[in-house]
Amino acid sequence: MREVHCDKIIKAVKEIAIKANYELPQDVVYAFQSAVEKEESPIGKEVLKQILLNAQTAKEEQMAYCQDTGVAVLFVEIGQDVHVVGGSLVDALNEGIRQAYTEGYLRASMVYDPVFERKNTKDNTPAVIHFFIVPGDKIRITFAPKGAGSENTSRLAMLKPADGWEGVKRFVLETVKLAGPNACPPLTVGVGIGGNFEYCALLSKKALLRKTGERSKDPVARRIEEELIEDINKLGLGPMGFGGTVTAVDVRVELYPCHIASLPVAVNVQCHASRHAEVEL
């Protein structure tokens, strides 16, 4: 069995966590560049140009693109033929995050107790970690920090099967409209449909990891994505909600079978700080 040492994991997580916070992925930058052309509102165009300049400056000066360096979300795909040695995998992942946030000048935004004392953990741990077992002997780690401004506007509904596509679409559009400027548009909207309560939320988040403009391979999901992009951009919110024709640069849909009595829908709203970086070990 192939072995991967925890020290290697710590180092890799630290690197991708810093990189993701300093450098917006190229596909996201391209999406904003083409949005400048598409946007009809002058103030909207101006905001998009500022966003692009911010991305460029953050990368050049190696600074956090946004001050909200987010909850540290990790997607870890573990090959079933790989063996982690030298300690606990979860501890290694958190250690990588801790080092990235304390040594990379990133903001510590996590509090221990969510309701009462709300005392800061000071190093942005613990991370939120999702594990997936996959074939092969590699470990693939994707880091996607998520700011609260957009995460707080995300929603989930357990619709009735009779609500159908009309109901699903209405819920997605309502979520985007309510999110408005609070979520720092232009947005990327991740939609999970099906599964159950918790799985559909995870699908909506997973949808955000695809590249901008990369349509689903599933023909139904693809059709839905195209319809939603068009309608979301008719809502008129525009960049930063000042009014305009580019409210979202992308919508990605993930579908999953569900119970005969259910129609779960989750909408994960992603702001323009659509940050992620990945590594394979």
Partner 1 sequence: MEKRLFTPLTDQVIEELRVGDKVLLNGYIYTARDAAHKRMVEAISNGDMPPFDMKGQVIYYVGPTPPKPGQVIGSAGPTTAIRMDKYVEPLLKLGLKGMIGKGYRSTQVKELLKKYKAVYFAAVGGVAVLLAKSIKSSEVIAYEDLGTEAIRRLYVEDFPVIVANDIYGGDVFEEGRRKFARIEI
Task: Answer yes or no whether residue 63 interacts with partner 1 by CB under 8 A.
Answer: yes
Task: Answer yes or no whether residue 243 interacts with partner 1 by CB under 8 A.
Answer: yes
Question: Cα separation of 118 and 99, whole Å?
Answer: 22
Q: Residues of 207-230 as b/e, b for ≥16 C-beta within 10 angstroms?
A: bbebebeebbeeeebeebbeebbe
Measured in whole angstroms, the distance separating CA 79 from the mean position of its chain's CA atoms is 23
Task: Answer yes or no whether residue 23 interacts with ligand SF4 by CB under 6 A.
Answer: no
Residue 78 has phi, psi (to 5 degrees) of -110, 120
* Residue with smallest beta-carbon separation from ligand SF4: 147
Task: Answer yes or no whether residue 147 interacts with ligand SF4 by CB under 6 A.
Answer: yes
Each residue 25-64 as x (binds ligand SF4 by CB under 6 A) or -, in order, gives ----------------------------------------
The listed partner (ligand SF4, partner 1, none) that binds 107, CB under 5 to 8 Å by sort, is partner 1
Residues that bind ligand SF4 (CB under 6 A): 66, 68, 147, 149-150, 183-184, 271-273
Contacts with partner 1 by CB under 8 A lie at: 40-41, 43, 47, 50-51, 53-54, 57-58, 61, 63-69, 105-109, 118, 120, 122, 147-149, 152, 170, 173-174, 177, 180-184, 231, 234-238, 240-245, 271-273
